[in-house]
Amino acid sequence: MNYLFLQTPTSRREMLRDSATLAGSAFLAHLFPTTVLRASAAQAAQEAPSPADMLANLRAQMGAAPIEAQKLADNLTLLSGPGGNVVVLNGPDGKFVVDTFLSPAWPKLKETLDGIGNAPLKFVIDTHWHFDHTDNNAPLHAAGATVLAHENTKKRMSEPHDLPVFGVHFDPSPADALPHQTFAVSHNLQANGETLALQHFAPAHTDTDIYIHFQKANVIHMGDTFFNGFYPYIDSGTGGKISGMIAAADKILPLADNYTKIVPGHGPLGNKADVTKFREMLVTAHDRIQKLKSAGKSAQEAVAAKPLADLDPVWGKGRINGDVFVQVAYLAL
């Protein structure tokens, strides 16, 4: 396997070549339809499809998932499906929406939000900058919501980015999609009989991550600092650190009891035990991969050593398999 896909390609051709090399991996096999990967491999020595086409394919596939609703409390609903997990607080003070799914899901998201109640949209809270959590900021703002996030989220969304692991390029987000209110460390909201405590993590999944603690309902949304049941993606290109992912779990666990509902960025609703298991996996992965890196092993050599072979049957069933996670973690040390 070629590992250049985790570095910034210098051309569209290199981006395609690296994506085609990954066509057999569990990661891209989940991200893109087989026909797309075959077409990419066939064109690898020719002109590559544009990063915009790759992004459109990614949005179309992931954004087509149905939205499933789950009650977390009388006024709190979890929506899962087309790009992460969305939490909606509803009541007389308006709707407060955490994260926003991918853009193709907007008609379904609007219909679902309308079905929750007649209260107007009040706030959108972004857990971090990634597109699968911020794609519908603009239409939600147009519908009346104020977008709130950490100050680094606005900074990252205002910049162009290449995410070679996806083979895509992002232009700066339009002005109407950017957060309108930001904070540096923490921010509290009082609404619908609930206290929302927002807190910034040290760099973890990215350098933009926050958690949202619905204190009365005993619900915590961790964003992508928690992937429930499978290996996470850590975006070292925007400050992500595996040590920060461990620190994020350490920050949340004292806030939780055995009844706390913990919402991951991706995966099913979790609890304190699930976050504990996730942390243990991260610590094991960190220590094993750090040992290889400290011994002078390259990323390729680290993968070849299969340091996570015993963890893969449990944690390697998501979009990122064990070999890809070794590379992701290697760069995020």
Look at residue 6 in the predicted model and tell me its pLDDT.
Answer: 31
Look at residue 109 in the predicted model and tell me its pLDDT.
Answer: 98
Tell me the three state secondary structure of residue 46.
coil
Burial grade of 192 (CB within 10 A; 0-12, 13-18, 19 or more)? buried
Look at residue 40 in the predicted model and tell me its pLDDT.
Answer: 39
Tell me the three state secondary structure of residue 12.
helix
What is d(CA 153, CA 175) in angstroms, rounded to the nearest whole number? 13
pLDDT tens digits in sequence order for the chain, 333 residues long: 222 223 333 333 443 343 333 333 333 433 333 333 334 344 444 556 787 788 888 888 888 899 999 999 999 999 999 988 999 999 999 999 999 999 999 999 999 999 999 999 999 999 999 999 999 999 999 999 999 999 999 999 999 998 766 677 889 999 999 999 999 999 999 999 999 999 999 999 999 999 999 999 999 999 999 999 999 999 999 999 999 999 999 999 999 999 999 999 999 999 999 999 999 999 999 999 999 999 999 999 999 999 999 999 999 999 899 999 999 999 999
Structure pTM? 0.87
Look at residue 149 in the predicted model and tell me its pLDDT.
Answer: 98
Look at residue 169 in the predicted model and tell me its pLDDT.
Answer: 87
Phi-psi region of 160 (alpha: psi -120 to 50; beta: other; left: phi over 0): beta
User: What's 233's DSSP letter?
Assistant: P
User: What's 222's DSSP letter?
Assistant: -
Tell me the three state secondary structure of residue 89.
strand
**Strand runs (DSSP E) across 7-81, as ranges?**
68-73, 76-80
234 contacts 241 by C-beta, under 8 angstroms: yes
What is d(CA 264, CA 212) in angstroms, rounded to the nearest whole number? 11
Look at residue 232 in the predicted model and tell me its pLDDT.
Answer: 97
Look at residue 322 in the predicted model and tell me its pLDDT.
Answer: 97
